[in-house]
Amino acid sequence: MNDAATTTMNGAESLVRTLLASGVDTCFANPGTSEMHFVAALDRIAGMRCVLGLFEGVVTGAADGYARIADKPAATLLHCGPGLANGMANLHNGRRANTMMVNCVGDQATYHRPLDAPLTADTEGWARGVSGWVRTASHARDVGADAAVAVQAARTSPGQIATLILPSDTCWDAGGVVGAPLPVPPAPLAAPTAIEAAARALRSGVPAVIILAGSALREAPLALAAGIAAATGATIMAQGSNARIEHGRGRHPVERIPYPVDQAVKALAPYKLVILVGARPPVGFFAYPGKPGVLTAPGTEVQVMARPEHDLPACLAALAAAVGAKPVGAPTLEKPTPATGAVSSESIAQSVAALLPEQAIIADESVTVGRAFFSGMHGAAPHDWLQITGGAIGCGMPLATGAAIAGKGRRVVNLEADGSAMYTLQALWTQARERLDVTTVILSNRKYAILLHELANVGANPGRTALDMLDLGHPDLDWPKLAAGMGVEGARAETMSRFNDLLAASVARKGPFLIELVV
């Protein structure tokens, strides 16, 4: 960069150029006044794909879905503290997924902040709860260097949200300098003593389960984990909520720890040893009267062989060498045929498994109806499975949107609960605007069904007032009309036969389509 260009470049231009130089070429945005210089810079600097979301929760959720498939960060562009606050639920999910993201948040000009204008907020304080790295730029000359550090932080294993707060004067002032891309440290290997301890415990013959998460759930590590299980007699499982699992025929099937406490306790009861590979110790989502919070049986030994930031495939390879294991090929599974008969969790899974195209992406926020979906789709065509990771509903449609952009033509099927969908249905508009290949399946039971289960779990005896709080009828939501209002064609199915026809047609066409499946 020559001196003349340096003196005429403003901070916003140095931000865009630094992001591009660091490999970040997609930005999900909902900008406001404080971000207009960034928006203007996009006209002058080619190479950044900017995707508009009509709500910040769509923006942050789409950036999450993008990174899960692209294996690199996108940027977001949010408007001041309240814009950040609107996106925080899906930032929470992204933090739990170890998602790589460069979160750019505009803010009041440095000299305007002391005036306490209406949008002034503790933007940095709010960002800390959902970010692994936070910084506020001080001068236009610092923006490029700060952005380079933000990208490095986002890409540092296992991935994290890096939030860069940009007072508006740091963007419009001249003196911006492009930040040089910074090296990303390689993911470390777990301590040899931890790997040897796990190998020794597995060789002892004690009933053991190896719980996998993160990059250990890709195809090759899964085959290696299956080989370790075959050599030692252990079982492999995935933690309950995962950012991405490579799933379907040709991949080794793995079951997840169930969400309901009683089922999870039963699934883990046989094991006296738990070995964690990138996973967290299994605990319940919530506390319930008279039920355990820790899901493993009393007296179970829990070993942390590898933490999320470790090179999990390499750790599994080291463990395999220590126990003399080889990768195991996936079992031969027959492709199912579309289901007929009553609409149920099992029949929906069977039909989706039968009709899913090769290398599709599933964005799963099916909540209660979807309890049988994952295990019922081991025989589907090879696909990636993305799911809600932090429990903050409203992630499914945005995840599907970002995954479709990263997937570059791969079909995305969003299995979506109707209550959760209402949080971020604006994502349909972005799908229409970007002509994304997304099939949204709304599982329309017209209630917050999971909360009906939770009422029972906490021992409540609900009456009419309580039940009305969990009911989505009176009036019923009309999803084909809602989709049409966002520019997406849609149709309703009340039978498996109709659902099969709509799903088969939608995955064979280009662009978005919505199916409301009444369950």
| 401: number of Cβ within 10 Å | 34
CATH number at residue 234: 3.40.50.1220
| Pair (200, 163) in one structural domain | no
C-alpha separations of 191 from 98, 208, 214, 305, 429 in Å: 21, 21, 18, 8, 48
Q: What is the 3-state secondary structure (H, E, C) of 371-395?
A: HHCCHHHCCCCCEEEEECCCCCCCC
| Pair (376, 492) in one structural domain | yes
Residue 376: predicted pLDDT? 96
| 358: number of Cβ within 10 Å | 12
Helix (H, G, I), strand (E, B) or coil at 4: helix
| Pair (141, 12) in one structural domain | yes
| Pair (61, 110) in one structural domain | yes
* Alpha-carbon Rg for the chain in angstroms: 24
Residue 5: predicted pLDDT? 44
Contacts of 114 by beta carbon, 8 Å cutoff, 6+ apart? none
Closest CA to 189 of 26, 90, 310, 342: 310
Is residue 336 in some structural domain?
Answer: no
| Pair (34, 153) in one structural domain | yes
| Pair (382, 304) in one structural domain | no
Structure tokens at 25: 């070429």
Structure tokens at 18: 């630094």
Residue 339: predicted pLDDT? 98
What's the pTM?
0.94
Residue 450: predicted pLDDT? 61
Q: Tell me whether strands 133-136 and 26-29 are parallel, antiparallel or unpaired.
A: unpaired
Is residue 177 in some structural domain?
Answer: no
C-alpha separations of 414 from 151, 356, 417, 503, 506 in Å: 29, 12, 10, 11, 12
Q: Tell me whether strands 383-387 and 245-247 are parallel, antiparallel or unpaired.
A: antiparallel
Q: What is the 3-state secondary structure (H, E, C) of 152-208?
A: HHHHCCCCCEEEEEEEHHHHHCECCCCCCCCCCCCCCCCCHHHHHHHHHHHHCCCCE
Residue 1: predicted pLDDT? 40
Instruction: Kindly write down the DSSP assignment for every residue of 112-160, as one continuous string.
Output: TGGG--TT---HHHHHHTT-SEEEE--SHHHHHHHHHHHHHHHHSTT--
Residue 475: predicted pLDDT? 87
Integer Cα distance of 347 and 341 in angstroms:
8
Residues 316, 160, 512, CA angle at the centre, nearest 5°?
Answer: 95
Is residue 181 in some structural domain?
Answer: no
Structure tokens at 428: 């349909």
| Pair (254, 309) in one structural domain | yes
What is the span of the domain harbouring residue 371?
345-518
CATH number at residue 408: 3.40.50.970
Is residue 224 in some structural domain?
Answer: yes
**DSSP secondary-structure letter at 494?**
-
| Pair (362, 501) in one structural domain | yes
| Pair (389, 503) in one structural domain | yes
Q: Which of the listed residues 172, 203, 219 is the one where a domain comes to its end?
A: 172
Helix, strand, coil proportions of the chain in percent (round to 5)? 40, 20, 40
End-to-end CA distance of the chain: 60
| Pair (283, 423) in one structural domain | no
How far is C-alpha 281 from the geometric centre of its chain's CA atoms?
A: 20
C-alpha separations of 146 from 38, 128, 149, 273 in Å: 15, 17, 5, 45
Integer Cα distance of 216 and 222 in angstroms:
6
Residue 471: predicted pLDDT? 73
Is residue 179 in some structural domain?
Answer: no
Is residue 380 in some structural domain?
Answer: yes
| Pair (21, 153) in one structural domain | yes
Instruction: Indicate the number of domains in the chain.
Output: 3
Is residue 334 in some structural domain?
Answer: no
Is residue 178 in some structural domain?
Answer: no
**DSSP secondary-structure letter at 279?**
P
Residue 468: predicted pLDDT? 64
Per-residue pLDDT of the chain (519 residues; tens, 9 = 90+): 444 344 589 999 999 999 999 999 999 999 998 899 999 998 899 999 999 999 999 999 999 999 999 999 999 999 999 999 999 999 999 999 999 999 999 999 999 999 999 999 999 999 999 999 999 999 999 999 999 999 999 999 999 999 999 999 999 999 999 999 999 999 999 999 999 999 999 999 999 999 999 999 999 999 999 999 999 999 999 999 999 999 999 999 999 999 999 999 999 999 999 999 999 999 999 999 999 999 999 999 999 999 999 999 999 999 999 999 999 999 999 999 999 999 999 999 999 999 999 999 999 999 889 999 999 999 999 999 999 999 999 999 999 999 999 999 999 999 999 999 999 999 999 999 999 999 999 999 875 666 555 666 666 666 767 666 667 777 889 999 999 999 999 999 999 999 999 999 999 999 999 999 999
Q: Max alpha carbon distance in the chain (Å)?
A: 73
Residue 474: predicted pLDDT? 76
| Pair (63, 10) in one structural domain | yes
Identify whether the C-beta of residue 350 lies closer than 8 Å to the C-beta of residue 338: yes
Instruction: Kindly write down the DSSP assignment for every residue of 326-355, as one continuous string.
Output: ---PPPP-PPPPPP-SS--HHHHHHHHHHH
